[in-house]
Structure 1
Amino acid sequence: MKTTIYNLFCLTPEAYERQVFELWMRYCIMLSFGKENDLQRLLANTALNNWYMQEFERFENRFLEYYADFAGKTSPDTLWAIYKDEFTKGLMCLRCPTLIENARKTNIIPQLN
């Protein structure tokens, strides 16, 4: 059986997607630090999100390459700690200045009901 990220961490796909979204939020929060109103622009930018998810998948595949053999031999909590520590640090350091600047220029129109 092929090891997937879900069975490596003993998570449902929904629970893992929640974690992925949380990491995306943290990434955008980090980029918007000190710049008012940037968070919504960054989160709403499709091009930036597509780039981030492409990089995320690359990092995720690399993590699976390194740690797939540990499935069932190491606790999911330990693997999750390694994932959050090593994997997310590398991901959080990535930047695509052009996409970030374009996202910051996006005009968000609030929709009030």
Structure 2
Amino acid sequence: MKKQVIHILQITPEAYELLVISLYHEWCAQKSNSKKTLQKLLSCVPLFNWWYKQLDHFEKQFIEEATPFKGAISPQVAQDFYRETISGIYSIFSKPLIKKAYDA
């Protein structure tokens, strides 16, 4: 599925990795209240794995909606649409995993 997202966004696999890392950082920053808690969230592997599975659901939706336009839209429009489609990820969280990260 990553390959489909990369193809629609017209970016390299490395750029996709940076995008995912950036999104996770933004998400963690939104859920933390200090630099220390941000670091704890960023380094919690179970939390990242949970978040990545959630991102996968949003990316499936993106692929379904964007595939008919593949190649017909500019990379910037595709990336804007991607961000809009996955924006719901910022409103979800796993309370037990966040607590686990805070307690670590």
TM over 0.5: yes
2:38 matched to which residue of 1?
39
C-alpha displacement at 1:40, in angstroms? 0.8
Match of 2:96 among 70, 95, 98: 98
5+ residue gaps, structure 1, are 107-113
2:12 matched to which residue of 1?
12
2:83 matched to which residue of 1?
84
8 Å CA contact 2:41–2:47 kept in 1: the answer is yes
- Count the aligned residue pairs: 102
> CA–CA distance in 2 between the matches of 1:17 and 1:36?
23
Higher mean Cα deviation, 34-43 or 14-23? 34-43
For 1:40-59, list aligned pairs within 5 A. 40-59=39-58
> CA–CA distance in 2 between the matches of 1:30 and 1:45?
15
Match of 1:4, SS state, is helix
Higher CA-based Rg:
1
C-alpha displacement at 1:36, in angstroms? 5.2
What is the CA deviation profile of residues 46-104 of structure 1, one whole-angstrom value per residue up to 9, with x for unaligned ones? 110010011111111111011111111121211111111232x2011111111111110
**What root-mean-square deviation, in Å, do the aligned CA atoms of Structure 1 and Structure 2 show?**
1.3
Q: Which amino acid aligns with 1:101?
A: K
Match of 1:29, SS state, is helix
Q: TM-score, normalised by structure 2?
A: 0.91
Q: What's the % identity of the aligned pairs?
A: 29
5+ residue gaps, structure 2, are none
> CA–CA distance in 2 between the matches of 1:91 and 1:29?
13
Give the helix-richer structure, 1 or 2: 2
Q: Following superposition, which runs of at least 4 residues in structure 1 exceed 2 angstroms of deviation? A: none
Q: Which amino acid aligns with 1:61?
A: K
What is the CA deviation profile of residues 12-54 of structure 1, one whole-angstrom value per residue up to 9, with x for unaligned ones? 101111000000001111111x345101110110110010011
> CA–CA distance in 2 between the matches of 1:79 and 1:10?
8
